[in-house]
Amino acid sequence: MSDMEFFYGKVRESTRTDVPTIEDDDDYYDWEDQQDGKMYFRVNGGILYEVTPVECSMNEYGGTMTFSQDFRFTPHIMCHWYNGGASKREVIEEAVKDLFE
């Protein structure tokens, strides 16, 4: 069933050299599922970025958001979307592109 979703995480340029070609296929998603919640995106001329979820609390339908991470020196993204129109990966990728392109 479609519903509202929420994601909050930090974004940084990745130094990893073992990330396979990022493709929209099961092999890549299976690999990414083994990365402790981290997602990888190539944007801004092919630069590899790593998105790590940050623990926080928010009602998906609005209200107060709480988190304890200091984000003064690391970019963070917050995404809130209806999952009947886009996947989590698509929404986060657009946020990373908007941040660095």
Q: Compute CA 71 distance to the chain's CA centroid, rounded to the nearest angstrom.
A: 15
Q: Which pLDDT score, from 0 to 100, does residue 39 have?
A: 96
**Residue 69: predicted pLDDT:** 61
Q: H/E/C letters for each residue in the chain?
A: CCCEEEEEEEEEECCCCCCCCCCCCHHHHHHHHCCCCCEEEEECCCEEEEEEECCEEECCCCCCEEECCCCCCCCEEEEEEECCCCCHHHHHHHHHHHHHC
- pLDDT tens track for 32-81: 999 999 999 999 889 999 999 988 777 666 666 666 666 667 888 888 88
Of the chain, the percentage scoring pLDDT greater than 70 comes to 84
The total number of residues shown for the chain amounts to 101
* Mean pLDDT on 16-31: 94
Query: pTM of the entire structure?
Result: 0.79
